A and B are shown apart, each in its own frame.
Chain A
């Protein structure tokens, strides 16, 4: 069981609480966790990963065990503590101040 913390706007969209749990068969990676998350909540497709490229959207960040995993391969195995459900995968909307916001 992987614990995933999702940001406010996606909680509203998927009608979930702050933390959701997903099951992953085989090695837990960001890709397999996101596939499982989107499988359970189809309305999240395109909101975390770009629809066309399946890469992380520019203003999304992945934090685990106090580390920024945003620039690490989606296929890298997750930390053991996350794979075992002791620590969550945090999906975060990046800080992005600006004139139009």
Chain B
């Protein structure tokens, strides 16, 4: 293994951080797309030199950029995200029905086998796919038929922010949408159903166990065991052992079960990571101490990881797409903060250092492990 390439999306551009396998000395490239919001960048598992980036601003709208040389040069590709047919309506803040309106791409999920196939999660929530390397995008509209008329935007917008492709079953796709919930397709996206049984939203929904409406923040899986899912919900850390059919809470001894990202160790499917945040009203770490929590038991029992992280006066947040792991023999864990720091732990979370500490607010972090 020769090293890693960390793809960082920020409020004002993209940055690419590279290192050898020791992960001590880093080269920083960027800002790419200076001044633009980069919600997400991700590389193709089938071709590490192929990277896709979601670039947008309120002024000039949405662009998709593609690199075929590992992020050295970029080419704008297709940016026409037209909803399939008549877009229809969803619930609005005042309870009325409101038409679906495209705003931006939150997430890009390349196919594990084809560099030209990529899924895009967008706001207003919908799933798109390209088969031609991003030149044209087509909606998978059946997702919005999963009670889409009942979905309503949360404070961050009605965004589709999580896409998981089952590596053992190309027909199985999971998505998660803020303030709508989690959804699963077993037929390549032709049909969908909510995957929310067991979620409880006691303070956010009039029916705490409603089928849709839960504010799912992120979901993660280990590729060797794709039927096991871990979820950071608005409140509650959850686990499913049956591909999302049923969920149970695994928050255990966390100081707060509110948070945004969740990640799974590259080699230990029962080792998971979260970053507890004080509350939905106060988006920063409890007690001003930035702590990653690790469970080696698949949840319920958690330990604070603090070595190298600020343990006083820290009031940053870690957003839902801003945590990732590499697949080097000693698993690296990475996360970025709204304060512009990107942290790395080359030893599964035992110790942490900053790679960079003065970037714009970090929106997303992804890692490529390079051969």
- Listed in ascending order, the chain A residues whose CB lies under 8 Å from chain B are 7-10, 12-13, 43, 45-48, 50-52, 57-60, 93-94, 96, 100
Contact = CB atoms under 8 A, between A and B. Distances in A.
B61 A13 contact: no
Nearest to A98: B58
* Chain A, interface SS category: loop
B371 to A, nearest CB: 32
A52 B58 CA distance: 16
Given A13-B76, A43-B76, A60 B82 contact: no
Interface residues of B, number: 17
Given A13-B76, A43-B76, A100-B11, A51 B60 contact: no
B84 to A, nearest CB: 13
A54 B82 CA distance: 12
B76 A59 contact: no
Contacts of A7: 59
Contacts of B304: none
B80 interface: yes
B102 A47 contact: no
A57 B102 contact: no
Nearest to A47: B60
B111 to A, nearest CB: 25
A49 B320 CA distance: 31
B62 interface: yes
B59 A60 contact: yes
Contacts of B81: 51
B58, B60, B102: which has the most chain A beta carbons within 10 Å? B60
A51 B82 contact: yes
Interface in B12-50: 34-36
24 contacts: A7-B59, A9-B36, A9-B57, A9-B60, A10-B60, A13-B60, A43-B63, A45-B79, A46-B61, A46-B63, A46-B79, A47-B61, A48-B60, A51-B61, A51-B79, A51-B81, A58-B58, A60-B59, A60-B60, A93-B60, A94-B59, A96-B58, A96-B59, A100-B11
Contacts of B36: 9
Contacts of A59: 58-59
B80 A46 contact: yes
Interface of B: 11, 34-36, 57-63, 76, 79-82, 102
A65 to B, nearest CB: 23
Given A9-B35, A52-B102, A57 B60 contact: yes
Nearest to B80: A51
A59 B56 CA distance: 13
A55 to B, nearest CB: 12
B39 to A, nearest CB: 13
A93 B35 CA distance: 13
A10 B76 CA distance: 12
A84 to B, nearest CB: 29
Contacts of B35: 8-9
B80 A57 contact: no
Contacts of A8: 35
